[in-house]
Chains A and B, each alone.
Chain A
Amino acid sequence: MARTSRITLKSTSGKVLASVALLGVAASVAGLGTYGSFTSTTSASETVTAGTVEVKLGEAGAANRLNVAAAGIVPGDSIQRVATLTNTGNQNFGGVTLTTATTTPNLLTTDALNGLQVTIDACSVPWTETAIPAAPAPATAYTYACSGTVTTVLPARQIIGANVVLNNLASMTSTKADNLRVTTKLPTTADNTFQGLTNNVGFTFVATQRAATDR
């Protein structure tokens, strides 16, 4: 009598066969799902333009006298120079700071007490300028009067400083401008050792963007 064998789920072979079959079915269904789905797309475009943060000083001349040298300074002298500061960007500023620096430090800039002191104020309308011939020729001294309202932008302090915050600026608002008057003074306490000194002081106005908002 011939011997026959049966494969049942109780045997090891049966279990292996069943597993393979199950995996095969699952893979087939997954493949159908991947390649058989309906698709639909739509699109929209959004233009994003970055704002501009720009600050400018007036052109050399009546709108900017900062680059006019001041010579023959003695203790007690004041040097007045105007400059227009304009927000030429399309964004409001979050703040404006002033950094004043020199590449040739000497007593004028290193002596915080007796060296040069600077003050900045603003006039609500352009300053009225008076030019006076000064020695040594052809030097010119300038004085300014304000027919509007004067506000303090920077109280008196030593001339050299980094990231000094400026206050009461109209140019915090886009397209607005400030009529600034920069007054530099040599204190009366500057002694004989301050004679015959020369210094170039760079005035750098730095504007930073307004606070970020949702747009």
Chain B
Amino acid sequence: MSRHGTPPPLHRLRLLVGVVVCAVIFTFAPTIAQAAFVGSATATMEVRTYAIPAPVGITGTFSCTTNKLSMTVTLTDFGAVNRATGYTVTLTAPSGQVTTNNLPATSRATTITRASSTVGNYTLRIRATVGSWTGQNLERVLTCP
């Protein structure tokens, strides 16, 4: 048998263990060498963004034409929303057409009219805006008397 033949399994195992041990040492030695004293202090801050609520309460009246193909809603007031920069009032006809009135934050009174091609229920919606954010709708379904 040649001296340069395949090493016996035990020799190979020893060689493998040696290589692994060396690899571990060379891997972690720099970490150990860089160990340093550290101190730390922590505090936690909670941040909650605004969820714009719907206005609460509406005061006003509404009326329809005799053929019930148009409704006019007159709002005299509705609940103010904190931090609102404006309000959007919409009246949606039974046929789906929508009329929109945009109000500044300082005004919560308006008159809005919407014609319809069909007879049915009208939907009044009021929501606040805060900058680019829009809030939840206050919704009322109105039926011509």
Contact = CB atoms under 8 A, between A and B. Distances in A.
A75 B43 contact: no
Nearest to B85: A74
Interface residues of B, number: 24
Could you say which of A51, A72, A182 has the most chain B C-beta atoms within 10 Å of its C-beta?
Answer: A72
B44 A55 contact: no
Interface residues of A, number: 54
A51 B36 CA distance: 11
B43 A64 contact: yes
Contacts of B133: 74-75, 191-192, 194-195
B48 A201 contact: no
A151 interface: no
Given A64-B43, A75-B132, A203-B42, A195 B50 contact: yes
A54 B40 CA distance: 7
B41 A198 contact: no
Interface string A179-215: 0001010101011101111111111111111000000
Interface in B41-70: 41-52
A55 B39 contact: yes
Contact of A72 (B36, B39, B83): B83
Given A51-B37, A135-B82, A206-B38, A196 B43 contact: no
A70 B50 contact: no
Contacts of A91: 37
Given A195-B49, A195-B50, A196-B50, A55 B41 contact: yes
29 contacts: A50-B37, A52-B39, A55-B41, A64-B43, A66-B45, A69-B45, A69-B47, A70-B47, A72-B50, A72-B83, A74-B133, A81-B45, A89-B39, A108-B49, A135-B82, A192-B133, A192-B134, A194-B133, A195-B50, A195-B52, A198-B47, A200-B46, A200-B47, A201-B45, A202-B43, A204-B42, A205-B40, A208-B38, A209-B38
Interface of A: 50-57, 64, 66-76, 79, 81, 83, 85, 89, 91, 94, 108, 116, 135-136, 182, 184, 186, 188, 190-192, 194-209
